[in-house]
């Protein structure tokens, strides 16, 4: 039986069999189970990125856009993207989650992030209390830093409900971006910006 150590021991043609992973579950059920530790990692690192200077400088690139559009979801410093997902991926690796399950969730998440930051109006009804869709996530991108400490959820908003950061808007959105527009606009400059003294 060949072994692949990236996420699990696996048999060709089957979803892998991890030591602690419920590999007998249907594929989609496994994908959504994998979303929980990964999304908690994203939420936790996201909040920490709003509290600590170096992490904020990495994350500020994502917040620096003066308008929201579908590519904003992936406008990130590559190091910050790794730090956001890293703890959750380690947990999934320890659990023996098959790589194809993790890949399935990352595919769903990438599509979701495009819609989460999209510049068009859509509604999902009561699901907006559960999913981090655009109508609520936009409030996380408000220009005033103090106003943007809400709705950190990347996909699920359950963590925002649990930790008191959920915000249902009752006033106009206003301006998005970062006050003073401190982040440079060129990609190369953005890559080095977090490491500059005084940034």
* Spans of all domains in the chain: 27-180
The Cα 33–Cα 22 span in angstroms is: 9
Specify the pLDDT at position 35. 97
Count of other CB atoms within 10 angstroms of residue 4: 13
Specify the pLDDT at position 141. 92
Give the predicted TM-score (pTM) of the model. Answer: 0.80
Locate tokens 């981090």: which residue? 132
Select from 182, 71, 149, 184 the least CA-distant residue to 117.
71
Residues 6+ apart with CB under 8 A from 94: 20
pLDDT digits (tens, 9 = 90+) for 13-71: 344 455 789 999 999 999 999 999 999 999 999 999 999 989 999 999 999 888 887 87
198 falls in which pLDDT band (50, 70, 90)? low
Specify the pLDDT at position 6. 43
199 falls in which pLDDT band (50, 70, 90)? low
The Cα 14–Cα 73 span in angstroms is: 32
pLDDT digits (tens, 9 = 90+) for 125-178: 889 899 999 888 989 999 999 999 999 999 999 999 999 999 987 655 667 778
pLDDT digits (tens, 9 = 90+) for 88-129: 999 999 999 999 999 999 999 999 999 988 887 778 888 989
CA distances from 117 to 9, 60, 177 (A): 36, 15, 13
Select from 188, 190, 199 the least CA-distant residue to 62.
190
69, two tokens: 């559009």
Q: What is the mean pLDDT of residues 79-84?
A: 92
DSSP characters for 31-84? HHHHHHHHHHHHHHHHHHHTTSHHHHHHHHHHH--SS--GGGGG---HHHHHHH
168, two tokens: 């249902």
148, two tokens: 């943007």
Helix (H, G, I), strand (E, B) or coil at 17: strand
Q: Residue 187 above 70 pLDDT? A: yes
Cβ–Cβ under 8 Å, residues 18 and 9: yes
Specify the pLDDT at position 42. 96
Q: What is the mean pLDDT of residues 1-23?
A: 52
CA distances from 186 to 49, 79, 189, 190 (A): 22, 17, 5, 6
Specify the pLDDT at position 173. 67
The Cα 155–Cα 27 span in angstroms is: 19
């Amino acid at each position: 039986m060949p072994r692949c150590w990236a996420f699990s021991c696996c048999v060709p043609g089957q979803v892998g069999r991890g030591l602690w992973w419920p590999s007998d579950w249907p594929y989609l059920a496994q994908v959504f189970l994998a979303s929980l530790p990964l999304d908690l990692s994203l939420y936790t690192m996201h909040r920490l990125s709003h509290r600590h200077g170096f992490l904020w400088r990495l994350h500020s690139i994502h917040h620096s856009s003066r308008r929201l559009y579908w590519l904003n979801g992936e406008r990130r410093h590559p190091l910050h993207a790794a730090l956001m997902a890293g703890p959750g991926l380690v947990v999934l690796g320890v659990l023996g989650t098959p790589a194809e399950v993790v890949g399935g969730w990352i595919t769903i998440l990438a599509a979701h992030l495009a819609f989460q930051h999209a510049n068009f109006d859509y509604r999902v009804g009561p699901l907006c209390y559960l999913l981090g869709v655009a109508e609520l996530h936009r409030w996380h991108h408000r220009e005033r830093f103090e106003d943007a400490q809400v709705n950190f959820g990347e996909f699920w908003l359950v963590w925002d409900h649990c930790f008191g950061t959920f915000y249902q808007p009752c006033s106009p959105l206003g301006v998005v971006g970062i006050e003073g527009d401190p982040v440079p606009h060129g990609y190369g400059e953005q890559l080095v910006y977090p490491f500059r003294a005084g940034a």
